Amino acid sequence: MTVLVGIAIFVGIVGIVVPILPGAILSLAAILVWAIVEHSATGWIVFAITAVLIGASQVVKYVVPERRLREAGVPRRSMIVGVLLGIVGFFVIPVIGMFIGFPVGVYISESQRLRSHAAAWTSTKHALRETGVSMLIELLGTSLAAALWLIAVLFVV
């Protein structure tokens, strides 16, 4: 069972970088299953701490990039257009379409708003950078949770 939980956590971490799966949620669910099967105080303490780590990363991954995009002058509307075109792109060109559709959507929205290629491209670069920051924050929170689980499995339980 522990090996399956470890595989699920790993798949969850991969799902953060390749956003096909709900990565952090999958990892947290795997740790929950482990805590239920483990049925010990250690298991529940590990689950509680990992829930806080992953939960905090889920909040911070939206707050920090949103604030930095606002400071850079990129409106929420452009991000929404980017996300919508990313979703369309995902279905038009499976897997990689999301990575094409998002920047194209942001660029089109910003180009329409700013009426300048250079300004639209600058906004698009800000959006891409902050999307990467968001992924890194989620990856950090989930990796810390996975490390805590692994330490508990190897040294405590």
Contact 24, 16 (CB under 8 A): yes
pLDDT tens for each residue of 23-32: 999 999 999 9
State residue 79 phi and psi, 5-degree precision. Answer: -65, -40
pLDDT tens for each residue of 99-114: 899 999 999 999 999 9
Stated as kind and residue range, the H or E segment containing 154 is: none
